[in-house]
Amino acid sequence: MTVEERFCILAVDDNPLNLKLIQTALSKEGYRIITASNGPDAREIAADEIPDLILLDIRMPGEDGFDVIKQLKNDSITNSIPVIFLSGVSEIDAKLTGFELGAVDYIIKPFHPLEVLARVQLHLKLSIATNSLISTQANKLKQITKVHTSMLTTPEMQPDAHFGVYYLSLQEAGGDFYDVLPISKDIYGYFVADLSGHDISTGFLTSSLKALLRQNCSPIYQPLESIKMINDVLVEILPEDKYLTVCYSRLNRKTNQMTIINAGHPPVAYVPVKGDPRLIEMDGDIIGIFKEVLFGQYTLKVSPGDRFYIYSDGLIESPKERLLWTAGKDKILPACEEFRDVPVTDAPEKIKTCICNGNEELQDDIVVLGIQV
């Protein structure tokens, strides 16, 4: 590793003495240290330098550490940089807030330089391991030269997932995909994707996505982390100019909580057991082109009987009418309302027939995945 390639640490603290202690302790171990004494400077430096890790003080005048990490995590350039908080505050609420905002660790002041060094080494190793895992997954998938279309999950295969699906694949269209995954007891993941272009075999994509979902959708990863890791791998293996739109929803029936991740996909239709249907609309970047991406995330409390419908754009787009899904999305809610009392196993096909008028000449693949809490 050359001098220019040394691990770079950004230390942020309004106390010059603390910065000096950190700089002295880490620089003599071979790290390149850059410093900032306030939040705005720290964010600007982080975006310019892309450090390998950030040591961030919480209590600073003006923009405190919590404000800084919120903005770092909302910036696609800096959201993957590990952040360790430095603070004289030891209350559990402060620690939990830091972890919820995305910090990887917490060091209480006054700190010993050797403790800082040990924590920095640990989290750099973890970061390297994560990047290595992504690289390994990508390399394994690159070696696939011939694959067959994997069997899509059916309600009969996962009866405890309580879902129904309508799936139509047109020969000339290019690759809608869905899957339903048992994350753990009472927790299921529901995934719908739509691939751009027509020159990648559906079998390859289906097998690759199934492998990635099972590798990365587990209790140890939050839904947003799972999709970010899948994106990092697909960036490595998809041909140029190919991408996916994705909606990934994780339902915990123990806590009655649904978390939805959107990556450039049409909005989820939510049909509460009591109340009017509504769309859950979020902005989100597409998957498979850029490593620096931001995805939409929405978490809500649900009740038994609530339903969600995830669908591909083929359901609501109309080439004949030159209607894109951004304009055609309003078609979905009346259909969901009309069939709210139909069993969830049958509702997706009825919704498709209602929206497509039963006789429209379809131009694209269609997936309608219905989920019942």
User: Of the given ranges (50-54, 55-59, 329-333, 343-347), which has the lowest mean pLDDT?
Assistant: 329-333
**Percent of the residues in the chain that have a pLDDT greater than 90, as a whole number:** 57
SS3 242: coil
At residue 148, the pLDDT reads 39
Average pLDDT over residues 190-216: 76
At residue 145, the pLDDT reads 36
User: Of the given ranges (288-292, 339-343, 353-357), which has the lowest mean pLDDT?
Assistant: 353-357
Distance CA 142, CA 82 (A): 28
Average pLDDT over residues 246-267: 95
Average pLDDT over residues 32-55: 94
Judged against a pLDDT cut of 60, whether residue 202 lies above it is answered with no
Judged against a pLDDT cut of 90, whether residue 304 lies above it is answered with yes
Judged against a pLDDT cut of 90, whether residue 174 lies above it is answered with no
User: Of the given ranges (89-103, 153-167, 216-230, 339-353), which has the lowest mean pLDDT?
Assistant: 89-103
Average pLDDT over residues 141-147: 49
Judged against a pLDDT cut of 90, whether residue 295 lies above it is answered with yes
At residue 361, the pLDDT reads 60
Residues 6+ apart with CB under 8 A from 66: 58, 97, 98, 101
At residue 149, the pLDDT reads 40
Judged against a pLDDT cut of 90, whether residue 203 lies above it is answered with no
Judged against a pLDDT cut of 90, whether residue 242 lies above it is answered with no
| Band of residue 362 on the pLDDT scale cut at 50, 70, 90 | low
At residue 227, the pLDDT reads 95
Q: If we measure between CA atoms, which residue out of 252, 221, 370, 255 comes closest to residue 309?
A: 370
DSSP calls for 326-369: HHHGGGHHHHHHHTTTS-TTTHHHHHHHHHTTTT----S-EEEE
| Band of residue 246 on the pLDDT scale cut at 50, 70, 90 | very high
At residue 91, the pLDDT reads 74
Equal CATH topology for 3-139 and 159-372: no
At residue 173, the pLDDT reads 43
Judged against a pLDDT cut of 70, whether residue 108 lies above it is answered with yes
Judged against a pLDDT cut of 80, whether residue 41 lies above it is answered with yes
User: Of the given ranges (2-16, 135-149, 271-285, 324-338), which has the lowest mean pLDDT?
Assistant: 135-149
Judged against a pLDDT cut of 70, whether residue 140 lies above it is answered with no
What the block records as the tokens of 370 is: 């219905």
Helix crossing, 202-216 with 223-237: angle to 10°?
140
Contact at 8 Å (CB) between 278 and 294? no
Helix crossing, 202-216 with 113-142: angle to 10°?
160
- Delimit the domains of the chain by residue range: 3-139, 159-372
CATH number of the domain at 3-139, please?
Answer: 3.40.50.2300
Cα–Cα–Cα angle for 180, 186, 192, nearest 5°? 20
Average pLDDT over residues 81-94: 85
At residue 146, the pLDDT reads 41
59 C-beta neighbours (distance < 10 Å), count: 16
How does pLDDT run across 307-325, given as a tens digit for each residue?
A: 999 999 888 775 555 545 5
Contact at 8 Å (CB) between 69 and 87? no
The mean pLDDT value of the chain amounts to: 86
Pick the CATH number of 159-372 from 3.30.70.20, 3.60.40.10, 3.40.50.20, 3.40.50.1100: 3.60.40.10
Helices (H) and strands (E) in the chain, counts: 10, 15
Cα-Cα-Cα-Cα torsion 252, 258, 264, 267, nearest 10 degrees, comes to 130
Global pTM exceeds 0.75: no
Judged against a pLDDT cut of 50, whether residue 161 lies above it is answered with yes
Judged against a pLDDT cut of 90, whether residue 240 lies above it is answered with no
Contact at 8 Å (CB) between 365 and 170? yes
Contact at 8 Å (CB) between 231 and 287? yes
b (16+ CB within 10 A) / e for 102-129: bbbbbbeeebeeeebbebbeebbeebee
Contact at 8 Å (CB) between 295 and 263? yes
User: Of the given ranges (17-21, 276-280, 312-316), which has the lowest mean pLDDT?
Assistant: 312-316
Q: Which helix (H) or strand (E) holds 178?
A: strand 176-184
Which amino acid is located at 116 in the chain?
Answer: V
Q: According to DSSP H, which parts of the chain are helical?
A: 16-27, 39-49, 65-73, 92-100, 113-142, 202-216, 223-237, 325-328, 332-338, 347-355
At residue 324, the pLDDT reads 56
Average pLDDT over residues 9-13: 95
At residue 144, the pLDDT reads 46
Judged against a pLDDT cut of 60, whether residue 147 lies above it is answered with no
